[in-house]
Chains A and B, each alone.
Chain A
Amino acid sequence: MIELKNINKWYGDFHVLRNVNLKVEKGERIVICGPSGSGKSTMIRCINRLEEHQEGELTVDGILLNNNLKNINKIREEVGMVFQHFNLFPHLTILDNLTLAPIWVKKVPKELAEKEALEYLDRVQIADQANKYPGQLSGGQQQRVAIARSLCMKPKIMLFDEPTSALDPEMVKEVLDVMTDLAKEGMTMLCVTHEMGFAKEVADRVVFMDAGQIVEENNPDEFFSNPQHERSKEFLSQIL
């Protein structure tokens, strides 16, 4: 479904991604962790071209990601993204936030788009807030709206970039619950997170990154109980 081959990226002189290779199968749930500055966000942001990689080959669902705008837009239609800071559109109601992309990008008729949007809102349990504005919702609610907004585009892949790290502690669970449900439905997911409980429960694989490289790839049980690499051991000892 997603394949990264020898991806390299620099910010000026700073080498952010070093020969990253990663293959994700359909339906796989990958949790990416690592210390801050290790390039994990940059990596998943390369997958839908919010960041541009300079070397290597990146394919998503068979589409090669290059400078061709058509390819980029096709990939973006198939890949949903959830951000740390939700990034809802504050000038639009919740319902309009959800229906905007389907109506304009996929040309879905308005009535249908709204019907589907309400179904997704129902799934993340905030259908009653449809006519409010983002600023009137709590952080956890906003992040659930953001997830629903991505789902409205019916993506094949969902990327999560630290979806719970900007939330108050008591709101983390409601967002993780939504994500867990999504995982159980078989969505292909890449999730940058430090929620180890979530990683243990849903991840098929944990990818540990450090200094722009993938240091260790393992199944969660192995990774948490018996990390192979020195750097992973040190990281886990600090966060667990």
Chain B
Amino acid sequence: MISVNSEKLGSWLKKNLFSTPLNSFISIILITVIFKVSVPFIQWLLVDSVWTGTAADCRQANGACLAFIREKATFILFGFYPREILWRPIVSVILFIGMIWYSKEPHRWNKRLLWRWLKLTLLIALLMKGGIFGFEAVEIEKWGGLPLTLMLSFIGILFSYPLGIFLALGRRSEMPIIKGFCVIYIELIRGVPLISLLFMASVMLPFFLPDGLILPKLIRAQVAIIIFMAAYMSEVIRGGLASIPKGQYEAADGLGLTYWQKMTLIILPQALKVVIPPTVNTMIGMFKDTSLVLIIALFDLLMTTKSALKDASWLGFSVEAYLFVAVIYFIFCFSMGKYSRRLEVEFNRGVRS
């Protein structure tokens, strides 16, 4: 049994790594590099690392200071949310991820799901904010960490996607006013960095709001992110619309479908499918870009990490801290990418063209 396996391994190696002298040479170099890098890393992370103790213990050791992560994880993940009622953001995040998990099956995409999302959003807002049903109120300013990052990015995606669809349709519209508005919107928003939009939302927007209407900074940042994402999303979707042959439009017209019937039943289902990879690409980019809200002092995941690093008694463990958030970001981004590949396969089933 073992001999068969080693034989298989041998032929696999020969075929994939050592097929030609040049390939063998490259393989040997790469294997050496991987070995040289990963062995010290594993040594640092797992063997020499300090799992419990104080900063002083960490400084004596050569390895990673995981005690720092243990100490600061709560703050990095949840910011200044009151410690006694931490279960509320935890439950919120779990509910949220659970709902995403539930929503990932295309056969569940209907109006009911939309309603469930609305209800869940309300429930999460209630859990986070409190103030009724005997829940202690927590000011929005104290929200932070993972719930904030998830909220900014996923609510951003949730709203910017349909908005992007309308903008893309508008930009291809034959009505000059609608078309002009969409072109100006998209070009204007794409023409400025997200940071400047966030600044505007945090500093300038309050001047334009009617007296007495005070929107929390978080909400203003959320709006800025939605506005920004929508411009990018619309260009991706416009690419999809342009890829649909003219004949599809004509066939729909010829059958007497109205504009909205034509778009929702014929054109968009095909166009959105074509642009799944760039759409998810944009979403992943936006997910990471939400960390820019730290510029207006919102405590998203990256900002809480930075603040954790400023703790005077735990100075000097930035590698561990950034590695920790990197892993969290990676888990979400990687899942999105993997999910998009699955969707592509699913939507192409049965369709050969």
Contact = CB atoms under 8 A, between A and B. Distances in A.
Given A83-B254, A90-B351, A105-B261, 15 more contacts: A48-B254, A50-B254, A76-B253, A76-B254, A76-B255, A77-B256, A79-B254, A83-B250, A87-B248, A88-B251, A89-B251, A133-B350, A135-B351, A135-B352, A136-B350
B250 A90 contact: no
A76 B254 CA distance: 6
The 3 closest A-B pairs by CB, nearest first: A87-B251, A87-B247, A76-B256
B270 A153 contact: no
Interface string A80-123: 11010101111100000000110011000000000000000000
Interface residues of A, number: 28
Interface of A: 48-50, 73, 76-77, 79-81, 83, 85, 87-91, 100-101, 104-105, 132-136, 149-150, 153
B254 A85 contact: no
B257 to A, nearest CB: 6
10 contacts: A48-B253, A73-B258, A76-B255, A76-B256, A81-B250, A88-B251, A132-B350, A135-B352, A135-B353, A136-B352
Interface of B: 245, 247-248, 250-258, 261, 265-266, 269-270, 273, 350-353
B352 to A, nearest CB: 4
Given A50-B254, A83-B251, A87-B247, A104 B270 contact: no
A87 B266 contact: no
A90 B353 CA distance: 8
Contacts of B269: 91
Given A90-B351, A90-B353, A133-B351, A101 B256 contact: yes
Contacts of B245: 85, 87
Nearest to B259: A69
B265 A100 contact: yes
Nearest to A106: B256
A106 to B, nearest CB: 8
Contacts of B273: 91
A104 B260 CA distance: 11
B345 to A, nearest CB: 15
Nearest to B349: A133
A166 B245 CA distance: 16
Contacts of B247: 83, 85, 87
A104 B261 contact: yes
A108 B70 CA distance: 64
Contacts of A134: 353
A108 B352 CA distance: 30
A27 B268 CA distance: 38
Given A50-B250, A104-B261, A133-B350, A91 B255 contact: no
